[in-house]
Amino acid sequence: MRAVDTIIRKRDGHSLTQAEIDAFVSGLANGTWQDYQASALLMAIVLNGMSPEETAHLTDAMLRSGERMDLSDVPGVKVGKHSTGGVGDKVSIALAPVVAACGVVVPKMSGRGLGHTGGTLDKLESIPGFRIGLSIEEFKEVLRDVGTCMIGQSATLAPADKKLYALRDVTGTVDSLPLIASSIMSKKLAEGTSALVLDVKCGDGAFMRDVTQARALAAAMVAIGARAGVRTEGVITDMDAPLGVAVGNALEIVECVDVLKGGGPADVRHVTRRLAARMLVLAGLGHDEATAVTAVDRAIDSGEALDRFQRMVAAQGGDPRICDDVSRLPSAPGVELLRADRQGYVTRMAAKAIGRASCALGAGRNAVGDPVDHGVGLLLRAKPGDLVAKGDVVLELRHRDARGLEDALILCREAVAIGDEAPAPRPKILEEVR
């Protein structure tokens, strides 16, 4: 089976067979497919799409390109969670200890910031001493002791996705529903959980700009999960404006701790409680919607969730005292304020521009391997719908020696709009796909 024939068939709009897809994915590893051929096929997929069957076969082939984690020696039901990525999205870090405190094991393999979006690993690494590079044995040990552990993606899980993702990143082939769905699901299925909740972000700061696209992506991933025997649900959540008020690594850890103490911004609390409750229901331990919400609230109100977080931080080498003394986290000394230039309602706080501003200050990367500054970022002093007077602070920028400040301010001015009419309230949870 020649690579060029598979490329031509997809170029001409045909469906690929399972054998063709298998040969493509294994060819990436054994060298029978060159990078330029893989790139050509990826572009043909972007332009002509894939059927649900082809997408399932591609996911399966990428899953089989590596190991599948065996968590059978970790007692308890394991439920995974994944977010398609956004700005200020710190939900995983707050949610995993909550769910663990309710008796469900949450093994979490996360990524670094990508483009304007933040990454769970970068946020966790702002905690002094925190190690995300545990061995699989150490990972399981922490799961047994604490019920949750958060590490980087293991190189042995879905290695074909790693290779393909790197090619997609530089060939303009990231934006494709079947490629995104198979990329995410091959990694999540390899993690070996029996259920999975997907937070599909939707809006200005997300891959999926509108609800129709987000719904289609969620449905594709739910179908792949079901086919693989993993109970999977998608929750579509708003990413037009950043989630919460903190954007930037250590600033977001402070917000997570606030949520675990029962406070924090209402939108972060709401999304965290909802996703945690769905994870409990999907765990199949007898929770229905109502009892799951009660269990989640109890885990937070009793301090048990915070205790799990502190134990996880300590078990991964981090300093758990950050929960009582946030001055132990890195912080940038410079403060610049962006003020409202008129009175009115905040009608827009565009997530993408705010995410880019945070990167400009040094919280994210321009290229793989760039160092990040864990102490910089932004605080939203007003959110969409808030009424502000002329001169009120709407954004607070935390910078180090004014690095990137000029660019960040330009982006922040682009991000914010103030008008006479209050915007229609936009719910944070838009839809659920089961």
Catalytic residue of the set 65, 83, 110, 183: 183
382 binding ligand URA? (CB under 6 A):
no
183 is catalytic: yes
For the bound state, the minimum distance from the C-beta of residue 254 to ligand URA, rounded and expressed in Å, comes to 26
Q: Is 57 a catalytic residue?
A: no
Interaction between residue 154 and ligand URA (CB under 6 A): no
Interaction of residue 268 with ligand URA, rule CB under 6 A: no
Catalytically annotated residue among 161, 199, 204, 373: 161
Q: Which residues of 222-254 are buried (b: 16+ CB within 10 A; e: fewer)?
A: bbbbebbebbbbbbbbbbbbbbbbbbbbbbbbb
Residue nearest to ligand URA (CB): 183
Nearer to ligand URA, 94 or 220 (CB): 220
Of the listed 78, 90, 123, 168, which one is catalytic?
Answer: 168
**Chain residues 62-101 in contact with ligand URA, contact rule CB under 6 A:** 84
Nearest in space to 71 (alpha carbons), one of 231, 155, 229, 194: 194
CB atoms within 10 A of CB 152: 18
Q: Please list every residue from 334 through 353 that binds ligand URA, using CB under 6 A.
A: none
* Interatomic CA distance for residues 263 and 364, integer angstroms: 27
Alpha helices in 136-210 (DSSP H): 136-146, 159-171, 177-190
To ligand URA, the closest distance from the beta carbon of 165 in angstroms equals 6
Confirm whether 26 is a catalytic residue.
no
Catalytic residue list contains 374: no
Q: Is 2 exposed, middle or buried (0-12, 13-18, 19+ CB in 10 A)?
A: exposed
Active site residue 82: yes
Quick note: the x/- pattern for ligand URA over 157-196, rule CB under 6 A, is: --------x--------x----xx--xx------------
Neighbours of 145 (CB within 10 A): 11
> How far apart are the C-alpha atoms of 348 and 424, rounded to whole Å?
11
For 92, 244, 269, 284, 417, the CA distances from 388, given in Å and listed in that order, are: 31, 18, 24, 46, 11
Give the footprint of ligand URA on this chain (CB under 6 A).
84, 165, 174, 179-180, 183-184
Tell me the catalytic residues: 82, 161, 168, 183, 187
